């Protein structure tokens, strides 16, 4: 078990490098998530790992630690209503303006969210005579989940979480080691490594941002910083989707709540 001093130091390391807040009495969580990494790098205990992190300028170990501690819980069309709002309300409004649309899927994990967005766009195109000029950027700070997302390959368990049989048949092909997203969907999404603690200025402007079910792991100050950063990357009238349990009003006044029959979203003031 990790002693109190090592746990406090490791908690500060995570908060400083990626904003994640462990809270109190989570020593067992840290021990379980780092156990495989300790064995791989031949560290006897977390104290040795912390010493190596302080000593080494090699970003590989730091990246592997973050990968181990990052929660990557996701599914296709998670909660469903944001994708219905996108299909029924947001896309028709923005595409009617005949301008390119940029969508950012922040903290995209292994790719289910941005690929779900791409499927919605493909379904919209199937019922309209014009091609949707939409670019999707998906970012995450974990190299491991980004590699999986770029591959577009998913196993039998993950493929059934949130996908209807019709969508599985239409948008995936069965291969020897699982199920692969078809090129028409995979090519719609560009993946890029990004730490939400860093600047977003180089990403450019977006009309739609998905930042869902990730901010619950951050401190109040970090949430304010992230919402402010997202707001700067959106012009007035842009749409933001957050998790169903994530309140924004306590951290920024840059957005107003819009309610639709399918659920709520946020609009840049």
Tens digits of per-residue pLDDT, 105-151?
A: 999 999 999 999 999 999 999 999 888 999 999 999 888 889 999 99
Positive or negative torsion for Cα 214, 180, 207, 124: negative
Mean residue pLDDT of the chain comes to: 91
Would you list the domain boundaries of the chain?
Answer: 4-69, 81-268
Domain 81-268: what homologous superfamily? Vaccinia Virus protein VP39 (3.40.50.150)
Q: What is the pLDDT of residue 79?
A: 94
Q: What is the pLDDT of residue 19?
A: 85
Q: Would the pLDDT of 185 be above 70?
A: yes
Tens digits of per-residue pLDDT, 203-253?
A: 999 999 999 988 888 888 999 999 999 999 999 999 999 988 888 888 999
Confidence class for position 74, pLDDT limits 50, 70, 90: confident
Q: What is the mean pLDDT of residues 33-54?
A: 86
Residues pairing with 173 in the sheet: 180
- Annotated binding residues: 72, 74, 78, 113, 140, 195-196, 212-213
- Annotated binding residues for S-adenosyl-L-methionine: 72, 74, 78, 113, 140, 195-196, 212-213
CB 64 within 8 A of CB 101: no
CB 68 within 8 A of CB 46: no
CB 209 within 8 A of CB 233: yes
Backbone torsions φ then ψ of 218, nearest 5 degrees? -110, 160
The residue count for the chain: 269
Bigger pLDDT: 218 vs 189: 189
How distant is the alpha carbon of residue 260 from its chain centre?
Answer: 24
CATH topology assigned to domain 4-69? Chemotaxis Receptor Methyltransferase Cher; domain 1 (1.10.155)
């Amino acid at each position: 078990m990790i002693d109190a001093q090592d746990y406090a130091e490791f908690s500060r390391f995570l908060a400083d490098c990626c904003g994640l807040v462990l809270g109190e009495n989570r020593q067992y969580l840290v021990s379980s998530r780092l156990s495989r990494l300790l064995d791989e790098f031949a560290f006897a205990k977390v104290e040795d790992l912390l010493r190596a992190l302080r000593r080494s300028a090699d970003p590989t170990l730091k990246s592997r630690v973050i990968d181990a501690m990052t929660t990557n819980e996701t599914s296709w069309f998670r909660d469903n209503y944001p994708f219905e709002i996108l299909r029924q309300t947001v896309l028709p409004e923005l595409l009617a303006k005949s301008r390119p649309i940029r969508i950012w899927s922040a903290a995209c994990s292994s790719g289910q969210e941005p690929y779900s967005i791409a499927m919605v766009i493909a379904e919209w195109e199937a019922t309209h005579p014009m091609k949707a000029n939409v670019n999707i950027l998906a970012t995450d700070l974990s190299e491991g989940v980004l590699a999986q997302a770029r591959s577009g390959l998913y196993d039998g368990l993950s493929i059934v979480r949130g996908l209807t049989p019709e969508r599985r048949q239409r948008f995936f092909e069965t291969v020897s080691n699982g199920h692969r997203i078809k090129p028409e969907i995979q090519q719609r999404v560009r993946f890029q490594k990004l730490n939400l603690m860093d600047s977003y200025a180089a990403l450019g402007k977006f009309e739609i941002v998905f930042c869902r079910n990730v901010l619950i792991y951050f401190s109040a100050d970090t949430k304010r910083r992230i919402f402010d950063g997202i707001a700067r990357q959106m012009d007035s009238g842009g749409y933001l989707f957050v998790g169903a349990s994530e309140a924004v009003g306590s951290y920024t006044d840059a957005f107003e709540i819009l309610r639709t029959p399918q659920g709520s979203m946020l609009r840049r003031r």
